[in-house]
Amino acid sequence: MTEGATLPPSGLPGLDPRFSRIVSAPGRGIDAGLDREWHCLDTGDELARLGVRPVGTILAVHGNPTWSYLWRALVTESVRAAEAGEPAWRVVAVDQLDMGFSERTGTHRPLAQRVSDLGALSEALALDSPVVTLGHDWGGVVSLGWAVGHPASVAGVMLLNTAVHQPDGVPIPAPLRLAGARGVLAASTVATTAFLDTTLALASPALDAATKDAYRAPYRSADRRRAIGDFVADIPVDGSHASSPELARIAAGVAELDVPALLLWGPRDPIFSDRYLDDLVDRLPHAQVHRFEGAGHLLAEDRPYADALLAWLGDHGERLTGRGAESLRAAATTVSGSTEDSDFVPIWRGLDDRRGDEAIAVIDMSTRRSEPPRRVSWRQLDDRVRRIATGLYRVGVRRGDRVSLLVKPGPTLSAVVYACLRIGAVVVVADAGLGVRGLTRAVRGSWPDFIIGETLGLTAARALGWPGVRISAARLPRAAAAALGVSYSLSDLVRGGDDATLPAAPLPDDDAAILFTSGSTGPAKGVAYTHRQLSALRDVLAAHFGVTHESGLVTGFAPFALLGPALGTRSVTPDMDVSSPRTLTATAVAAAVRESDARIVFLSPAAILNVVDTAGALAAEDRDALARVQTFLSTGAPISARLLESAAELMPNATPHTPYGMTECLLVTDVTLDGVREAAESPDAGVCVGRPIGSNRVLVSALDADGRATGVPGDEPGVLGEIVVSAPHLKDHYDRLWLTDRAAERETDTGDAADASSPRWHRTGDVGHLDELGRLWVEGRMPHVIVSGDGPIAPVGPEQQVERVDAVRRAAVVGVGPHGLRQAVAVVETLPPAAHAGLAEPHLTRAVRASTGIPLVAVLAVPRLPTDIRHNSKIDRSRLSAWAERVLAGGRPDAP
């Protein structure tokens, strides 16, 4: 006997019973001649009651072992949006047959049958076209099967963690292998609630008891759980499985879908990992993607997914609801630069121009102390680039493939980078300063197709399960190569390579590189640059700093370590660990300058600290070499005049610069030491970082009383707000972080005409102001703004005032207390260092309070202020704020 559909019990948290309905639909396939009863959540009647006509329908399909309850937030929020006057989308969230509160048919329903079932239901409901499908888990596959089969109705697809393809030779995820094992399947999925309980336990944060019970409500007995086991048994583990042909049909059809697509992903999913996201991105290259770090399989419970879906629907309303729009793939081809661009000069042109030159291009200072530095000529570098490029192409690297680079700066890394760029591969660069967890998150998040690395990096890749075909920088013994999963070495690629088989060059607007942020304000983000943007960075650097073939670069700052070949000038990285800037010494800088006869030196602020501290070890010949430097740059974070002056003493004939920028836009403004000194006479608070470089633009979006940047971006002097920038070399997008992109580039009325030539803008997350001379002053980060009862307070200005106290080496001003009523606390690093952390001595407290114009509720002293994980120069104010709250609440004053 079958059991008909029923309505869910009342009182389930978050589920309004008004939306539940039972629908009868004619059966198909194995159900031909029968009617089947479905339970679904449907907002259609409520929209009709409100007098609102929907612009389309969202057809939402749950996976295993959930039910339509998964979509309750979308159901509720979509109605609220309609009530608020937003375009109304009818939501139909189904319970698949034998699941949730739909009919128990008593028959096994393979994938093809479930796709057919959904088609029958959609016809019975006469769904209003256009339809946007939404699916999760195996509901994602079923929803895509419907989309592929209804090309005239489908307007878009939205997916949460799911998969449509299982790679050959790769086993299905371990939890599914275990659940599907003989002797385990029935016991874990049907006889007991083990599979259901395990799935619910994947939520992060954990579900409350009432919500867990709501998910269990349709599955109280073994009879009602039968389909949970059937779903697991229907997973195609290999090509011989009965449902494999249907899965293959759907996978192929997805690659032909030419409709807007959104992929929301929980990367901590032990079942549908980033491997499956990468496959979907390959099939839907136009899709917008957002990975929610920290979220997992039950993304709909972990994060506010409904807000994201409705925002996406709003952004794409015209395309989704209008028919006959231009092809997404055709539009993407146009955007990527299908027409010839005569003004574009590729990033590798510097190499081409000096192809036969025997002059030195790159110097490697990391050789053994008993050996001279390794020197590589332009001819040798160009030859190696071309041979590696053809070798990479020979082993399957294609335009758009991602190549993660785990190689230290030097000739080898330079050759590999330019080889990848030449054939259109996307280089992925995340430095070891992120730490093992951060680096793993970065590599797995970008999901590279290939990894080129030195032994240490390849060992980490093997141990931590990073994706990608492995290529070793050096030839390894056969046993070591096998142990590390290495398929090729660079020497294998170089052997027999020439430029005769180089593929066509990439287009200007193809992705070229993904660089990762420092992770100092949250998980590191991948920042994607196109070839056009990398070339624009080269051009602005060359023009502003007067770089010529004879300039020479010493680069102790990783992002610029690879620009020498692009600029057509020799380059060298000093002997240091680039992932740990404090390992750079003054003698190492001098040695690099002496060997390269460089006139330009790039260093990070953290590196400068140690260079200045180790200056006492410089010999006379070292000082002579440094005296030949003409331009000195500190990039990565603004630095004080005092530190810039200390560095200038080591390079007395150089003009010191401290450009302002970020990973998203590496050079925005610039100021010289003389400019910093001039600014010191100004009453403005913060760090002066100068005026915009070249055609760059800087505006400020004013903070409101709640500390939010809600003001229309402008250039009025003295307005405190979020810094907004535009530049030809501004990043293209964040990698697989659509929501972050949307927030950073949300529409702003800047007075520019809204056409294709309008500049793109980036909200930096930095706080500051412009002065009457057009100079930019940085005053902190948005999350560090103290929202007091008297309005927002930016931290840098008060910190500068506190640092004028003789006993204070460095200071941080942070907030404690509830938002809107926060109180300022000064945390100081003293000279000499404090013996332990805690309340400052009374005399120091009085001096600090007298130094600043803001009220301080307390002054705390620490032996050392904590800094971020990579720069070692940016004070970790968020960590200090939490620590100060604990101390002032009576907690132990351990070091922060």
**What is the residue-wise DSSP string for 477-500?**
-HHHHHHTTEEEEHHHHHTT--GG
**Residue 333 pLDDT:** 46
Confidence tier at 733 by pLDDT (50, 70, 90): very high
Looking at per-residue pLDDT, the higher value among 497 and 3 belongs to 3
**Residue 557 pLDDT:** 72
Min mean pLDDT across 64-68, 285-289, 711-715, 874-878 is at 874-878
Largest CA distance in the chain: 97
Looking at per-residue pLDDT, the higher value among 874 and 17 belongs to 17
- Number of residues that make up the chain: 896
What integer is the mean pLDDT of 867-875? Answer: 58
Confidence tier at 705 by pLDDT (50, 70, 90): very high
pLDDT mean across residues, the chain:
89
Confidence tier at 184 by pLDDT (50, 70, 90): low
**Residue 323 pLDDT:** 46
**Residue 493 pLDDT:** 92
What integer is the mean pLDDT of 569-584? Answer: 82
**Residue 523 pLDDT:** 80
What integer is the mean pLDDT of 35-43? Answer: 97
Phi, psi (5° rounding) for residue 515?
-110, 140
The count of C-alpha atoms lying within 13 angstroms of the C-alpha of 187, restricted to the half-sphere facing its C-beta, is 5
Phi, psi (5° rounding) for residue 268?
-85, 10
What integer is the mean pLDDT of 433-437? Answer: 73
**Residue 772 pLDDT:** 96
Min mean pLDDT across 246-250, 592-596, 757-761 is at 757-761
pTM listed for this prediction: 0.90
Amino acid at 749: D
93: left (phi over 0), alpha (psi -120 to 50) or beta: beta
**pLDDT for residue 104 is more than 90:** yes
Q: Report pLDDT digits (tens) over 539-553.
A: 999 999 999 999 999
Domains and CATH numbers, the chain: 17-169+239-328 (3.40.50.1820), 345-566 (3.40.50.12780), 670-746+762-782 (2.30.38.10), 785-888 (3.30.300.30)
**pLDDT for residue 763 is more than 60:** yes
Q: Report pLDDT digits (tens) over 117-139.
A: 999 999 999 987 799 999 999 99
**pLDDT for residue 756 is more than 60:** no
Q: Is 633 exposed, middle or buried (0-12, 13-18, 19+ CB in 10 A)?
A: buried
Of 160, 156, 111, the C-alpha closest to 130 is 156
**pLDDT for residue 224 is more than 90:** yes
On whether the CB atoms of residues 873 and 636 are closer than 8 A, the answer is: yes
**What is the residue-wise DSSP string for 749-775?**
--S--SSTTSPP-EEEEEEEEE-TTS-
**pLDDT for residue 572 is more than 80:** yes
**Residue 496 pLDDT:** 67
Confidence tier at 531 by pLDDT (50, 70, 90): very high
Confidence tier at 871 by pLDDT (50, 70, 90): very low
What integer is the mean pLDDT of 456-463? Answer: 90
Parallel, antiparallel or unpaired: strands 402-406 and 450-453: parallel
Q: Kindly report the three-state secondary structure assignment for every residue of 452-477.
A: EECHHHHHHHHHHCCCCEEEECCCCC
**pLDDT for residue 755 is more than 80:** no
**Residue 758 pLDDT:** 67
Q: Report pLDDT digits (tens) over 243-274.
A: 999 999 999 999 999 999 999 999 999 999 99
What integer is the mean pLDDT of 404-411? Answer: 89
Min mean pLDDT across 475-484, 496-505, 715-724, 819-828 is at 496-505
**What is the residue-wise DSSP string for 418-452?**
HHHHHHTPEEEE--GGGHHHHHHHHHHHH--SEEE
User: DSSP class of residue 188?
Assistant: I
Q: Report pLDDT digits (tens) over 311-336.
A: 999 999 888 987 434 555 554 444 44
